[in-house]
Amino acid sequence: MENLIITVAVCGSAPMKTQNPSVPYKPAEIAAEALRSWRAGAAMAHIHVRDPETGQAAFSRELFSEVLDRIRADSDMLVNLTTSGFNITGRDIGRQRLMPIELQPDLCSLDVGSLNFRDGRIFQNPPAWVETAAKTMKEAGVKPEIEVFDMGHIRQARDLVSKGLVDDPPYFQLCLGIPWGIDGTLDSLVEMHRRLPQSAQWSALAVGPLQLPLTTHALLMGGHVRVGFEDNLYLDRGVKADSNARFVERAAQLAGLLQRNVASPTEARAILKLPLGRKS
């Protein structure tokens, strides 16, 4: 079984310090959390940025750039910048969402398929935007992390792969338990995995108390895992984590107990067929 790539999703766009005071807002805090997680065994950081004062979701080139530069100055960690852009307003939102690609991260998230959120919002990812995003990432040499929240999203992603818009191996993030996406169950995980392209590399995430059981099953199935504050604020029932690194430490310990090695950033690059060495 291949070595395990642990991704840390440092802060997301929603968790607030009122929910857990350890959630980072400022670029220096976000980068510091990524670096703590790297030291604990994470090969990759998935990055959102926040307004440094209010903590509200942000989508600023300067904020993304500062976080990216800080991580790369002190580590060889892979950096995956979000293109979700929940807070973007104005004209041509789709084009604005592709701005992080210009910073030349190792990966960018590519959300395939739209989703109704429980809070009434619609996460809109129109097919034309998805194809444009895939083409733009391919031209820039930035690997897409294909985020799928339901079975139909996998079907759409397979179409991207068949059209040659995603370089081999396609890298999928299976997102489980997000209302109103696919259920956070073992059956759902197994079925999503079954429908992936044969050449795919894949990782799994799950929210809240589902994080630990489902990432453990993914680990056993040969997949990779994503953990961190974006998806879960509690290390144990009623116990808030004081750092993203706690989730990474636990994932690495479980991998050791289950006799699976944890991938270094260099090994993760080889698994995903990314260029060796950091981009400048």
Question: How many Å apart are CA 80 and CA 101, to the nearest integer?
Answer: 10
Amino acid at 275: P
Span 87-128, pLDDT tens digits = 777 788 889 999 999 999 999 999 999 998 877 788 888 999
CATH of the domain at 217: 3.20.20.70
What is the four-CA torsion angle of 215, 216, 220, 226, rounded to 10 degrees?
30
**Distance of alpha carbon 260 from alpha carbon 256, whole angstroms:** 6
- pLDDT, tens only, 12-67: 999 999 999 999 999 999 999 999 999 999 999 999 999 999 999 999 999 999 99
pLDDT at 278: 53
Domain residues for the domain of 101 are: 6-272
Token pair in block for residue 165:
């818009």
- Over 80: is that where the pLDDT of 279 sits? no
What pLDDT is stored for residue 280 in this prediction? Answer: 41
Instruction: Give Cα separations from 33 to 64, 107, 114, 188 (angstroms).
Output: 15, 19, 30, 31
192 occurs within a structural domain: yes
Is the residue at 278 inside a domain? no
Please tell me whether residue 134 adopts helix, strand or coil conformation.
helix
Q: State the total domains in the chain.
A: 1
* pLDDT tens digits for range 169-224: 999 999 999 999 999 999 999 999 999 999 999 999 999 999 999 999 999 999 99
| Residue 122 lies inside a defined structural domain of this protein | yes
Q: Cα–Cα distance between 18 and 230 in angstroms, integer?
A: 14
In whole angstroms, give the CA distance from residue 176 to residue 207.
7
Distance of CA 254 to the CA centre of its chain: 20
Q: What is the pTM of this model?
A: 0.96
Bond preceding residue 169 cis, omega within 30 of 0:
yes
Strands 78-81 and 107-111: parallel
Determine the residue type at 22.
S
